[in-house]
Amino acid sequence: MRSPHEFFSTIKVVAFDFDQTLVDEQSLVRHRWQKTLENFSHMHPDLQKTFFSIFEAKGYKYKNHLDDTFCVLGLPEDYKDSLISSFRKEQGDKEYVNEYSREVIKLLKQKGFRIGIITDGLKSYQEQRIVRAGFSELCDFIYYGDEHQKPDPAFFNMCIKEEGILPHELLYVGDHLIKDIEGALAVGSIACYIGNEQSVPLPLEVLSFTTMQHFYQWLEQK
């Protein structure tokens, strides 16, 4: 692996994905479901237990947690819409910041890079979350997904143009192999993958770390 000095020789701006990169989206989704289901506990004594058993088994991105729960418990479909509506209104009251996320950003700022966030989330939802997580005051820019969604090249190109840089002067850090990594590479930017779900080999030019802590430790090298 190249040294930080060599790797960052052409980079001027570092942008981060938000969910699952800077913060633990899974914990937030679990928290929102927990708060929601507490208000519907009268439906069945095993509602939460059954739901979260499916949640843990299938993962937080699975789309049918509630359908499966209703099926297992034999609950009437009439309640489902109101439960889903309540979940959507439940924003959560805290963010689960991934360990070393703030430290990575602060270290990069000390090294003189412009730092920001490029997120698919809509501004109406993400803005307050980014503030609550303590990242807004650390960022020089934040781009939301109101007009474009990753990996659309138009999204990355818009950010590159707004920052007044060339594509290869942007490093994008994210956890999603297609939206974040392939999206950044497609416009000629540099990419850093954070995670361990490598279903396919990463291109040799992609920087890769299992956690933000490992990224931080590498950045500390001279």
pLDDT tens digits for 139-158? 999 999 999 999 999 999 99
**Domain check: are 204 and 104 in the same one?**
yes
Of 73, 89, 105, the last residue of a domain is 89
How confident is the prediction for the chain on average, in pLDDT?
93
Quote the domain boundaries for residue 208.
Answer: 4-23+96-219
**Domain check: are 184 and 104 in the same one?**
yes
**Domain check: are 14 and 45 in the same one?**
no
Phi, psi angles (nearest 5°) of residue 64: -120, 30
**Domain check: are 212 and 105 in the same one?**
yes
**Domain check: are 41 and 83 in the same one?**
yes
Residues of the chain with pLDDT > 70: what percent? 98
Beta-carbon count within 10 A of 92 CB = 17
**Domain check: are 65 and 162 in the same one?**
no
**Domain check: are 44 and 61 in the same one?**
yes
pLDDT in tens, 89-144: 888 788 999 999 999 999 999 999 999 999 999 999 899 999 999 999 999 999 99
**β pairing state of 13-16 and 170-174:** parallel
Q: Which of 108-117, 130-139, 202-211, 212-221 has the lowest mean pLDDT?
A: 202-211
Beta-carbon count within 10 A of 33 CB = 21
**Domain check: are 82 and 183 in the same one?**
no
**Domain check: are 50 and 69 in the same one?**
yes
**Domain check: are 169 and 189 in the same one?**
yes
Phi, psi angles (nearest 5°) of residue 203: -55, 150
**Domain check: are 206 and 105 in the same one?**
yes
**Residue among 179, 166, 204 nearest 11 (CA):** 166
Of 65, 89, 113, the last residue of a domain is 89
Q: How confident is the model at residue 198 (pLDDT cuts 50, 70, 90)?
A: low
What is the domain count for the chain?
2
Assign residue 103 the CATH number of its domain. 3.40.50.1000
